[in-house]
């Protein structure tokens, strides 16, 4: 093989390697994004359930029951917010649908 032919083979091999790495990174990124979305969905569901319990406690009365429900709601909100903010830092497109912090 000529020097030019050898260089072409080497350059094609480098390109193939770079393409394989890029494809693998894409797979890992997609899997991580799916994991983060599921974590946020679960945290938002826990926050929603805590809000429902707070509404019920408020209707039923009882200062202790209300205070406990308020604390649970605040903790669930903080968790959902923390997960949502973590996603924003980790993902390059933090404006994607569903990547928001829950409404209080």
One digit per residue, pLDDT tens: the chain, 104 residues?
A: 578 889 999 999 999 999 999 999 999 999 999 999 999 999 999 999 999 999 999 999 889 999 999 999 999 999 999 988 876 666 645 444 454 545 55
Q: Which two tokens stand for residue 50?
A: 């805590």
The residue ranges of every structural domain in the chain are 3-90
Q: Is the pTM of this model over 0.95?
A: no
CB 47 within 8 A of CB 77: yes
For the chain, the three-class secondary structure string (H helix, E strand, C coil) is CCHHHHHHHHHHHHHHHHHHHHHHHHHHHHHHHHHHHHHHHHHHHHHHHHHHHHHHHHHHCCHHHHHHHHHHHHHHHHHHHHHHHHHHHHCCCCCCCCCCCCCC
């Amino acid at each position: 093989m000529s020097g030019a032919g050898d260089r072409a083979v080497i350059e094609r091999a480098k390109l193939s390697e770079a393409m394989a790495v890029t494809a693998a990174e894409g797979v890992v990124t997609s899997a991580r994004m799916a994991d983060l979305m599921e974590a946020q969905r679960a945290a938002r569901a826990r926050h929603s359930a805590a809000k429902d319990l707070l509404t019920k406690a408020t209707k039923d009365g009882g200062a202790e029951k209300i205070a406990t429900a308020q604390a649970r709601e605040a903790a669930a909100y903080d968790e959902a917010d923390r997960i949502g903010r973590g996603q924003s830092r980790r993902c390059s497109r933090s404006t994607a649908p569903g990547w928001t912090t829950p409404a209080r």
